[in-house]
């Protein structure tokens, strides 16, 4: 015991303990980093991540910061996932043309390969929604069930006919005609602009597939009853027809009385 006590008092004991502590801390950090990297692994190659980082620094870092940590001009992108990048960049909403109530769709500035590379880089920064499974984008879901889900969750903003609608303070829900299945799925997953996030706990992947099928179905069907008047709904359309009908009757009455006189 006396020998052991003397060793503890040795001048190098403190150094040995410090080295052991540093080694243990480094080992724990390495394990934690590996776990985080595994969570953020989205199947992109290292080359995609590297190329995406270069594109990000040249085109996005001015607003989002060099490490995508965000700035007063734009939010952090850590943890938003590949799906959010693919939607925003793939629809031309990003990079933004000018500050406004929301990012508006415009011609895309990056091709598909560059968009994928940007998505790969952002996905490497932290776990987030990944690109959707192609099986969920085939348009072979249940359109009837999709219509029910759409009317319950989406119609209050996008209109029952998916024709879009106005929101508050200059914001709006866009029309969904012509939007690709992948971008519709990604929008539900990530909640861009003023849209809420519909996670798998809210709407399952199969439910999202059904909604996409419903939207594709009504787009293919068009308006078999004639002019849809922008899909404003039965009340607005009925009022329009009532006013137009009365206008025709009044005009005809004026024309008829002028002829008899």
Binding residues: 60, 63-64, 154, 157-158
Binding residues for heme c: 60, 63-64, 154, 157-158
Beta bridge partners of 238: none
Helix/strand number for the chain, H first, E second = 11, 2
Structure tokens at 57: 């620094």
DSSP H helices, 137-233, are 143-153, 155-158, 181-190, 205-221
Q: Which residues contact 105 (CB under 8 A, 6 or more apart)?
A: 91, 92, 93, 174
Work out the angle at residue 193's Cα, subtended by the Cα atoms of residues 166 and 155, and round it to the nearest 5 degrees: 45
Dist CA 39 CA 42 (whole Å)? 8
Structure tokens at 183: 């971008």
Torsion of CA 64, 66, 198, 182, to 10 degrees: 100
């Amino acid at each position: 015991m006396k020998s052991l006590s003397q060793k503890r008092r040795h001048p190098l004991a403190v150094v040995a303990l410090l080295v052991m502590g540093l080694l243990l801390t480094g080992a724990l950090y390495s394990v934690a980093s590996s776990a985080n990297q595994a969570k953020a692994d989205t199947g992109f190659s290292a080359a995609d991540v590297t190329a995406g980082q270069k594109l990000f620094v040249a085109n996005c870092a001015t607003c989002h910061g060099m490490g995508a940590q965000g700035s007063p001009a734009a939010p952090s992108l850590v943890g938003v996932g590949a799906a959010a990048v693919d939607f925003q960049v793939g629809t031309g909403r990003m990079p933004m043309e000018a500050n406004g109530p929301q990012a508006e769709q415009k011609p895309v500035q990056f091709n598909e390969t560059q968009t994928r590379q940007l998505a790969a880089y952002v996905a490497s920064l932290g776990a987030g929604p990944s690109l959707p499974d192609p099986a969920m984008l085939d348009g072979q879901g249940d359109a009837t069930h999709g219509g029910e889900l759409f009317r319950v969750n989406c119609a209050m903003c996008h209109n029952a006919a998916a024709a879009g609608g106005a929101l508050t303070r200059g914001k709006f829900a866009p029309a969904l005609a012509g939007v690709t299945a992948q971008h519709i799925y990604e929008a539900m997953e990530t909640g861009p602009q003023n849209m809420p996030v519909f996670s798998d706990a809210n709407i399952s992947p199969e439910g999202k597939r059904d909604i996409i099928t419903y939207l594709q179905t009504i787009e293919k069907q068009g308006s078999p009853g004639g002019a849809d008047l922008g899909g404003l709904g039965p009340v607005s359309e009925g009022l329009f027809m009532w006013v137009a009908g009365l206008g025709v009757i009044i005009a005809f009455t004026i024309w008829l009385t002028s002829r008899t006189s």
